[in-house]
Copies of this chain bind each other. A is one copy, B any other.
Amino acid sequence: MIKIISVGKLKEKYLLDAQKEYTKRLSKYTKLEIYEIQDENDNDIVRALIKEKEKIIKFLKPQDNIILLDLKGTKVSSEKFSSLINEELTYKSNITFIIGSSNGVHEEIKKIASKTISISDMTFPHQLFRIMLLEQIYRSFKIINNESYHK
């Protein structure tokens, strides 16, 4: 099972539609849960990260196998990402992806993550980023199942 905990809410209709489409496609391969956390509108970044961390933790269970998405994480190809997902799901039966706010996440979240992955050196708005992650998860299952996927 795959869980995504994302700081920030999807607002744009086209992104909600994109998420709906990927959720539908992914239902063939895995159970998927998406939790949204309201990002903190606090000029004190440290204080905002602490508040967001507390809200993230509420969605975590002790057995959760956490992969953090972060600008400074390890960069991998789609093929590598796919085998990583396959391994994690085989040995730990679940993955919880955490997407932080534009300020990242609190150090404590970094510490409890088993892996930290970076999709790009470029900063994306969390809304679009969530769709990019869903796309790579979907692509991973296509690769794992040897199904063609080019578009």
CB within 8 Å of B: which residues of A? 8, 12-15, 17-18, 21, 75-78, 81, 102, 119-128, 131-132, 135-136, 139, 150-151
Contact = CB atoms under 8 A, between A and B. Distances in A.
The quantity of this chain's copies bound in the complex is: 2
Contacts of A12: 18, 21
Nearest to A149: B125
Contact of A122 (B8, B14, B131, B136): B136
B78 A122 contact: yes
Given A15-B18, A17-B17, A21-B14, A126 B151 contact: yes
Given A76-B122, A132-B132, 14 more contacts: A13-B14, A14-B15, A14-B21, A18-B18, A75-B75, A75-B121, A77-B121, A77-B122, A78-B123, A81-B122, A119-B120, A123-B139, A124-B132, A125-B151
